[in-house]
Structure 1
């Protein structure tokens, strides 16, 4: 059985869509999943990039694209009242629901739907308080250990070469984005393409 580490941030609509479609996309495969929340903004800062929602034109396209993808997959998705927003409260809440800092699927599902269903303000303090009551975390989301675990998850992602969310890591290989799910499935199936073609990119020189 292969193990997948799913790097995610609740701020990302693509991470939400990947989370919702993962079971169907990998149906029939033998695998386990660890959900590892990270701070997407820290990944962007490390790699010197702006997020899609910070770039005029790309921002509007991203929202239209994810609404179309949700429609295509038959999923509920309403854009939150404000985006981007500060996701740290939600990320810490997710980690606080587990001693290990690795939330289960129910916790991630509940938080993702808090953000991407209903069209409300995802970071609203009253809504966050209600969500906290619903999830009944094992720890205080503001305790120092939770904050440290979030930084550690993010540092771990950066060290492994993760540059965006969603990213799926299996056997040291990174699969980025919702549209990488068919490729991930092929790897889990043992597709022979990965024996040679995966490493071919290492031979390509960068410019200048």
Structure 2
């Protein structure tokens, strides 16, 4: 059985699309998924990157592309009034939905992602956040130090595994980044010669010729 860790942050439209498309993409495969909410901004800070929505021309491209991808996949995607936004309240709520040491279930993740990407409303509107929390009934206090530390620990563990962006689907030591990474994962499981052969390791071993000073 395919054992998948799905790293995501609800701030990412690509994570939402990958989450929604996952059952269809993996149809016919035997699999189990652990949904792992992480702070994308923490990853960006660690790896020295900016998010796509922080670069103005890239923001325009990002939302044109995700709009087209949603259309192509037959999925709903309504952008919130401002992006990027601070997803910490949602991430802590999701983390609090699981017992200590465990990950939230698909239903909780679905509700949080659709809270952001269905309807086009402010994800951090206090009344909406309260209604979402009442529906989810978290097992722990989202504002507790325990939950905050658990989210930090989950993000640090993802970085230590080599995760640099969301969504990332991890199977053992193989990381598949982005919505298009889902297609690569499925091809690998179905015996793709490049992904299952030496081509995977050889392509990843290419060394940089120029390194920019930060």
Give the structure-2-normalised TM-score. Answer: 0.94
Matched, 1:30 2:30: yes
User: Contact conserved, 1:82 with 1:122, CA < 8 A, in 2?
Assistant: no
Equivalent position SS for 1:32: strand
2:77 counterpart residue number: 77
1:85-124 C-alpha deviation (Å, 9 max, x unpaired): 1100000100111103411000000000000000000111
Residues 103-155 of structure 1 show CA distances to partners (whole Å, capped at 9, x for unaligned) of 10000000000000000001111111110001111111111111111001100
How far, CA to CA, are the matches of 1:189 and 1:29 in structure 2? 9
Aligned pairs for 1:1-208 (under 5 A) are 1-99=1-99, 100-193=101-194, 194-208=196-210
Q: Which runs of 5+ in 2 are unaligned?
A: none
| CA distance in 2: counterparts of 1:8 and 1:89, whole angstroms | 15
Q: Residue 141 of structure 1 aligns to a residue in which SS?
A: coil
Q: Secondary structure at the match of 2:131?
A: helix
In structure 2, what is the Cα distance between the partners aligned to 1:75 and 1:58? 22
Divergent runs of 4+, >4 A: none
Gap regions ≥5 residues in structure 1: none
In 2, the alpha carbon distance for the partners of 1:28 and 1:71 equals 24
RMSD: 1.1
| Contact persistence 1:94–1:103 (CA under 8 A) | yes
Work out whether residues 7 and 166 of structure 1, in 8 Å CA contact, stay in contact via their aligned partners in 2: yes
